[in-house]
């Protein structure tokens, strides 16, 4: 099952880089895996007990042959009513950007923090960035400066938990002026061990230059932050990482932050570093990621105003896909023991006793929190990527966020008509493109770069 590919790679990666040969785990690695699963289930149970929940509705299956297969038929989509992003809880419609900032946006932020992604703790320890190595090298014959950094988190309050954020930064050489940079939630080492993967995650389609090459050729830089170095990608790890450090090794409370917010907090710390690096123009930093990292991308963009642009890859449910829409992955899947750690504990309630239509907000309002900054929503094709991510549900996340962009005099998505495969909707400040490839941002990079240079300048032909 293709949809499990990245998930398995990410889980293995979180365990240990060397575990990564599919199907070739040693008995010792198997026992680590089993232990993590046990701890994850126990933590999930602990949160359900805190919430007074006895049972949850099961998720749908990604396998079309299964009796409980996820809906993949547009004609069977439910009808639903979404909260209006421009209407205050008291029923009054807001009409000015000022009212958005002062009245409506804080209401939406509160709902997302309390019910879905969790709150940042009031006192998060500081991060000190250290350059581990710096070298002049090339990528596809293009000269770059490549730095490896570690963001060392102050753990004096609880020394048994150590957190060091891994970051790679590459900028074109020679640097004559600070350059824009794209920060990816990703991997510095291949999750596939030492074997070069046939089609690495996030790289271009066959024959195209990789995203790194395309950015460097444009005169821009790229950076990669490793989410698992901030917070593990499983429930077992919630008593460790930055979340565990702040909680002094104790389990979370229902409103505490989940992994998506922790990863995006780490991205903000990388931005702090960029502000000190003279090779980088910290006013032109984009954030990018795929799948669960696509979810982290929109969360980072929504909560961190210093990001200039976003490239949100196949974020699906928990990202920009409308959660109330019965198509592909559902809230019940996100609330299960395999994925609940991405969110705050409270979110589990919406898989029992509450339902997704009880959510006070939906994904279009997460996109709206990014306004008026430009966002690009990316998806693969139904044939190759599958229907789990719900390409149309992500498009609708952009459609229904558009009124907020229009409040700012921006264009938003500019249409409510779902485009045919490959059609770039790039005229507005919410852009959308469903490429013809699989679960990757790869085939959308050239479109993204052409769109980004409208904002960042330097659209020269090269
Ligand atoms: C699973 C999960 C998705 C997630 C994806 C990923 O498919 O259901 O929500 O985006 O894994 O690989 O990140």
**What is residue 246's predicted lDDT score, i.e. its pLDDT?**
98
pLDDT of residue 207: 79
What residue segments make up the domains of the chain, in order of their start?
111-456
The average pLDDT across 363-368 equals 99
Ligand 1 atom with the shortest distance to the CA of 329: 8
Q: Using the predicted structure, report yes or no on whether residue 13 has a pLDDT greater than 60.
A: no
Band (pLDDT 50/70/90 cuts) for residue 176 is confident
Location of structure tokens 């996820």: 70
Radius of gyration of the chain (CA): 21
Q: What's the whole-number mean pLDDT along residues 348-371? A: 98
- Residue nearest to ligand 1 atom 7, measured at CA: 3
Lowest average pLDDT, out of 203-217, 231-245, 414-428, goes to 203-217
Inform me whether the pLDDT recorded for 198 exceeds 50: no
Q: Tell me: the pLDDT tens digits for 368-418? A: 999 999 999 999 999 999 999 999 999 999 999 999 999 999 999 999 999
pLDDT at 155 over 90: yes
The pLDDT of residue 188 is above 90: yes
Probe residue for ligand 1, chosen from 1, 69, 329, 441 as the CB with the greatest number of ligand atoms within 8 Å: 329
Distance, in Å, from the CA atom of 24 to the CA atom of 29, rounded to the nearest integer, reads 9
Of all protein residues, the one whose alpha carbon is nearest to atom 8 of ligand 1 is 329
Q: Check whether 3 has a pLDDT greater than 50.
A: no
The per-residue pLDDT for 194 is 43
Q: Cα(311) to centroid of ligand 1, in Å?
A: 17
At 354 the pLDDT is 98
Place of tokens 């990202």: 319
Strand partners, 69: 61
Question: Looking at 140-154, 196-210, 429-443, which range is the least confident one?
Answer: 196-210
Judge if the beta carbon of residue 8 lies within 6 A of ligand 1: no
Q: How far is the CA of 319 from the centre of ligand 1 (A)?
A: 10
Task: Give me the mean pLDDT over the 154-159 stretch.
Answer: 98
Q: Which among 60, 316, 332, 385 is the best mutation to test ligand 1's pocket, defined by most ligand atoms within 8 Å of the CB?
A: 316
What are φ and ψ of residue 298, in 5° steps? Answer: -70, -35
3 lines ligand 1 (CB under 6 A): yes
Cα–Cα dist 92/87, whole Å: 6
Q: CA triplet 160, 25, 7: central angle to 5 degrees? A: 75
Class of 111-456 per CATH?
A: alpha beta
DSSP labels, 163-226:
-EEEEEEEEESS-SS-EEEEEEES-SS-TTTTSPPSS-TTPPSTTSPPHHHHHHHHT-EEEEE-
Token representation of residue 70: 């996820």
CA–CA dist 14, 12 (Å, integer)? 5
Above 60 in pLDDT, residue 16?
no
Query: Can you tell me the mean pLDDT for 189-217?
Result: 66
User: Which of left, alpha, beta for 306 (phi over 0: left; psi -120 to 50: alpha)?
Assistant: alpha
Choose the residue to mutate in 5, 6, 343, 390 for probing ligand 1, maximizing ligand atoms within 8 Å of C-beta. 6
CA 172 remoteness from chain centre? 26
7 C-alpha to ligand 1 centroid (Å)? 6
**What would the mean pLDDT of 336-343 be, rounded to a whole number?**
98
pLDDT band at 199 (very low <50, low <70, confident <90, very high): very low
pLDDT confidence of residue 367: 99
pLDDT of 4 strictly over 70: no
Cα-to-centroid distance, 277 and ligand 1 (Å): 34
Give me ligand 1 centre to Cα 192, in Å: 18
Mean pLDDT, the chain, rounded, equals 92
Does ligand 1 lie within 6 Å of residue 321's CB atom?
no
- 292: Cβ below 6 Å to ligand 1? yes
Q: What is the pTM of this model?
A: 0.94
Is there an atom of ligand 1 within 6 Å of 191 CB? no
pLDDT digits (tens, 9 = 90+) for 77-100: 999 999 999 999 999 999 999 999
pLDDT at 335 over 80: yes
291 lines ligand 1 (CB under 6 A): yes
440 lines ligand 1 (CB under 6 A): no
Percentage with pLDDT > 90 across the chain: 89
**Strand, coil or helix: 385:** helix
Out of 14-18, 151-155, 233-237, 426-430, pick the least confident.
Answer: 14-18
Residue 272: is the preceding peptide bond cis (ω within 30°)?
Answer: no
Phi, psi of 11 (to 5 degrees): -65, -45
Q: What is the mean pLDDT of residues 433-449?
A: 96
Sign, CA dihedral 383-384-388-391, equals negative
């Amino acid at each position: 099952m293709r949809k499990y590919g990245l998930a398995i790679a990410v889980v293995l990666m979180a365990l240990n880089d060397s575990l990564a040969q599919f199907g070739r785990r040693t008995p010792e690695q198997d026992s680590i895996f089993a232990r993590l699963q046990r701890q994850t289930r126990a933590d999930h149970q602990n949160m359900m007990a805190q919430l007074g929940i006895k049972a949850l509705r099961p998720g749908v299956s990604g396998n079309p042959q299964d009796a409980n297969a996820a809906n993949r038929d547009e004609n069977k989509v439910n009808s639903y009513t979404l909260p209006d992003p421009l209407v205050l809880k008291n029923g009054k419609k807001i009409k000015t950007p000022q009212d958005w900032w002062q009245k409506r946006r804080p209401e939406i932020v509160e709902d997302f923090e309390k019910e879905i992604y969790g709150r940042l703790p009031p006192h998060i320890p500081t991060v000190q960035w250290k350059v581990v190595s710096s070298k002049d090298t090339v990528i596809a014959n293009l000269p770059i400066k490549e730095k490896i950094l570690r963001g060392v988190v102050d753990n004096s309050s609880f020394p048994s938990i150590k957190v060091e954020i891994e970051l790679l930064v590459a900028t074109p050489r020679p640097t004559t002026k600070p350059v824009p940079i794209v920060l990816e939630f990703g991997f510095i080492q291949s999750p596939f061990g030492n074997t070069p993967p046939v089609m690495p995650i996030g790289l271009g389609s066959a024959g195209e230059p990789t995203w790194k090459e395309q950015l460097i050729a444009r005169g821009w830089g790229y950076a990669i932050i490793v989410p698992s170095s901030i917070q593990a990608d499983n429930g077992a790890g919630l008593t460790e990482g930055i979340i565990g450090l702040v909680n002094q090794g104790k389990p979370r409370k229902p409103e505490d932050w989940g992994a998506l917010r922790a990863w995006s907090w780490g991205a903000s710390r990388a931005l702090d570093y960029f502000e000190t690096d003279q090779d980088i123009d910290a006013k032109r930093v984009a954030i990018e990621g795929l799948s669960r990292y696509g979810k982290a991308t929109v969360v980072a963009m929504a909560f961190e105003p210093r990001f200039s642009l976003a490239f949100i890859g196949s974020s699906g449910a928990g990202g920009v896909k409308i959660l109330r829409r019965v198509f592909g992955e559902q809230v019940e899947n996100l609330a299960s023991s395999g994925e609940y750690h991405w969110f705050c504990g409270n979110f589990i309630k919406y898989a029992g006793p509450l339902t997704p239509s009880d959510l006070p907000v939906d994904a279009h309002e997460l996109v709206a929190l990014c306004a008026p900054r430009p966002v690009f929503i990316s998806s693969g094709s139904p044939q190759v990527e599958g229907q789990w991510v719900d390409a149309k549900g992500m498009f609708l996340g952009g459609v229904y966020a558009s009124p907020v962009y229009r409040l700012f005099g921006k264009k938003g998505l500019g249409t409510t008509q779902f485009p045919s495969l490959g059609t770039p909707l790039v005229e507005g400040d919410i852009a959308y493109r469903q490429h013809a490839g699989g679960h990757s941002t790869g085939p959308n990079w050239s479109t993204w770069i052409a769109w980004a240079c409208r904002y960042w300048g330097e659209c020269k032909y090269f």
